[in-house]
Amino acid sequence: MKRFLLTLATVFAIAVPTIATTPAQINASDPDEILSTEPVNVRVTPNLSGQIITQLDDGTPTNIRCAIAGQQIWDTNVWFYSDLANGERGFWTAYYSDADYNTSDDLSNRYGISRCERPSSTPGASVYYQPRFHLSDPLAPTSTYTAAKDYWAAGSCSAIASAGSWPAHFDGQLVTRASGWSLGRLGITYMLSHFPQRAANLDQIILFDPGNLDEYANNPCDARYDQDELMAQWLDADPSRRLLVLAGAWTRDVGNPDEEGRLHQGLQQHLFPAIRAAGRSHQVLICNYDTMGHAAVMENFGHLAGSGSLTQCPGESDAAWDPSGALIGDGSEPVDPIDMIIHRLRHVESIEDLDPSLFKSEVLQLIRWVRTGAYLDTKTEVFDDYGEYVPIDAETSVYYDVFGNIAYGILASRLGIERDIAQAGPLIPVLGGGWSEADFISVEIGFDINGDIDGDFSRLDRDLIVTYIKAYRAAYAGADRPMRVIDR
């Protein structure tokens, strides 16, 4: 039986050359079926260290989705990625198959099998960093590529190259989501630091119960990297990017509170400072599961490594919050956008950065907080949760961008910017432009609210904002300057 070696320079540091042989005869119109020739283990990775999912019996047919270069088994390094009878997927070595091939083209033309890492602009593939503690450790979904799971070990810091040892494309999709459980956080860190092109493709990162204060502070591999700055830079490069942290009892770390009794100090001291300073807190969601065990976090929510929403907490969380300290209910329901802007305005007010002298002008300070993707730009989050119109009470729904515009008006007034200058936002390129009459009215609401509270954001409350929205609705009913508000 003829074999060959696949070359995959992007997955292995040293590319294995393809063996030149005489091509086999190919019947492209009728792809042959490949069967296993003896019992063979199906694993989560294309190597013998990957945990075993199941075993194929001799002669078992499977739907082979693609082929990839993996650990060499005798005369071939080809591994098949297959759909399994139980609905899962996994890798098995082509050595224990009846496939007859000499080249990559043979696999494609004779058997209809393409390369797993074939280029694609379609997003949606995912990669998962799993440490090797025990064979019984929870797994990511088998539709997710599990990267170099043996390498994430405390102390050795030897896995830097392996953090990029996964294909940029997998099973016909671009890898756009990365996750890690426990020490898998190091895989994420190494990837952000040493593989910027891979990181640039990502729009979602998930950390499953990443670790406590002792681990972040005293593990030399953690200490070697400025993890919060790496994550802040990744978030800052694209306002649509999201980080989800699922914090179980291990990360909660009840034995190491700060002086005010706050927990999660591994995150607070080593992952969040730069995110807060960069104004990226709104792109981060932390979900607390206070009594959930370390492995249970991955067992319960590991499906998110492959797909699922990163804007709401899965299951029944004890609390949901962002690095600014804003509490977002229990995270199980869409956040109220009025509560969202109140929390964020209070955070902006509470930090030293709210000082125009640091930015040369009040307008530059305003831009910093309200430009597209900035801390007070809530449009994407609100639209994702509600669509175009958001109910504010039993009678009225408001267009989704009204809330961000009100916050813009409140902050502009607080900074002492004149109303007509603030309403000239479209003339400032970084603010995006394209305002409507309704946008001007929303900014007016913000100015009036700030005048009512005399610049004291602690006096902001939901009822006050709803009252102003409905008052302006009544004032402009039937007018040429419409408010984008509808009666329910």
126 is written with which tokens? 């995912």
* Cα distance between residue 252 and residue 261, in whole Å: 12
The pLDDT, as a whole number, for residue 230 is 96
The answer to the question of residue 285 being in a domain is: yes
Query: What span, in angstroms and rounded, lies between the C-alpha atoms of 348 and 163?
Result: 36
- Please identify, among 333, 368, 390, the residue that sits at the C-terminal boundary of a domain: 333
Number of H helices, E strands in the chain: 17, 16
Which ranges in 294-355 belong to alpha helices (H)?
Answer: 294-301, 337-350
pLDDT tens by residue, 352-410? 455 555 455 677 767 767 777 676 777 877 887 788 888 888 888 888 888 988 998 99
Asked whether the predicted pLDDT for residue 253 surpasses 60, the reply is yes
Residue pair 210/204 in contact (Cβ under 8 Å)? The answer is: no
Let me know whether 246 and 209 are in one domain.
yes
The pLDDT of residue 193 is: 92
Segment 469-472 long-range contacts (CB within 8 Å, at least 24 positions apart):
469/392, 469/396, 469/398, 469/402, 469/406, 469/445, 470/396, 472/441, 472/444, 472/445
The answer on 370 and 403 residing in a single domain is yes
CATH code, domain with 200:
3.40.50
User: How buried is residue 331: exposed, middle or buried, by Cβ count under 10 Å (0-12/13-18/19+)?
Assistant: buried
Nearest to 337, CA basis, from 299, 288, 390, 373: 390
The pLDDT value recorded for residue 45 is: 87
Q: Which amino acid is at 174?
A: L
**Whole-number Å distance between alpha carbons of 40 and 74:** 14
Please give the pLDDT value at position 256. Answer: 92
Decide which of 84, 115, 146 is a domain's last residue.
Answer: 115
Instruction: Let me know whether 191 and 322 are in one domain.
Output: yes
Distance (Å, whole) CA 8 – CA 16: 7
Contact by Cβ (8 Å): 145, 306: no
The DSSP H or E segment spanning 48 is none
Please report, to the nearest 10 degrees, the dihedral formed by the alpha carbons of residues 475, 479, 480, 481 taken in order. Answer: 20
Q: Is 85 exposed, middle or buried (0-12, 13-18, 19+ CB in 10 A)?
A: exposed
% of the chain beyond a pLDDT of 70? 79
What's the whole-number mean pLDDT along residues 74-102? 91
- Asked whether 285 and 244 are in contact (CB, 8 A), the reply is yes
250 vs 88: CA distance, rounded Å: 29
pLDDT at residue 134, as a whole number: 67
Q: Is the pLDDT of residue 422 over 90?
A: no
Bridge-based pairing of strands 284-288 and 319-321 is: antiparallel
Structural domain includes residue 22: yes
pLDDT in tens, 148-196: 544 555 555 766 777 887 889 999 999 999 999 998 999 899 999 999 9
Quick one: tokens of 460? 């902001």
Higher pLDDT among residues 202 and 438, named by residue: 202
Rounded CA-CA distance 263/289 in Å is 13
Q: H-helix or E-strand containing 447?
A: helix 437-453
Domain range spanning residue 80? 1-115
Phi, psi torsion values for 188, nearest 5 degrees:
-60, -45
Counting the structural domains of the chain, the total is 3
Q: Are both 176 and 260 inside the same structural domain?
A: yes
Residue 443 identity (one-letter amino acid): V
Residue 35: pLDDT band (50, 70, 90) is: very high
Phi, psi for residue 238 in degrees, rounded to 5 = -155, 115
Do 225 and 284 lie in one domain? The reply is yes
Q: Same domain for 20 and 93? A: yes
Asked if residue 282 is part of any domain, the answer here is: yes
The answer to the question of residue 244 being in a domain is: yes
Q: Are residues 105 and 131 in the same domain?
A: no
Q: Do residues 218 and 362 share a domain?
A: no
Give pLDDT tens digits for 304-330: 999 888 888 888 888 888 897 766 655
Single-letter amino acid, residue 140: A
Q: Kindly tell me if the per-residue pLDDT of 5 is higher than 70.
A: no
State the virtual CA torsion across 133, 139, 143, 144 in degrees, nearest 10: -40
> Which of 340, 466, 462, 450 minimizes the C-alpha distance to 397?
466
What pLDDT is attached to residue 11?
Answer: 38
* 446: CB partners within 8 A, 6+ apart: 405, 406, 407, 408, 409, 410, 411, 412, 413
Residue ranges of E strands in 351-440: 389-391, 396-399
- Domain containing 75 — which CATH number? 2.30.30.40
- For residues 324 and 407, membership in a common domain is answered with no
Asked whether residue 167 falls in the same domain as residue 285, the answer is yes
First to last CA, the chain: 71
Torsion of CA 318, 320, 322, 327, to 10 degrees: -90
In a domain, 253, yes or no: yes
Q: Which of 131, 298, 305, 276 is nearest to 202 (CA)?
A: 305
Give residues with Cβ within 8 angstroms of 460, minimum separation 6. 342, 345, 346, 410, 449, 453
Residue 338 counted as domain residue: no
Q: Final residue of a domain: which of 333, 351, 377?
A: 333
> Is 208 in the same domain as 357?
no
**What Cα–Cα distance (Å) separates residue 362 from each residue in 79, 173, 369, 440?**
60, 45, 11, 19
- Shared domain check, 233 and 143: yes
Distance of alpha carbon 6 from alpha carbon 1, whole angstroms: 16
**pTM of the full structure:** 0.68
Q: Is 79 helix (H, G, I), strand (E, B) or coil?
A: strand
Separation between Cα atoms, residue 203 and residue 62, nearest integer Å: 33
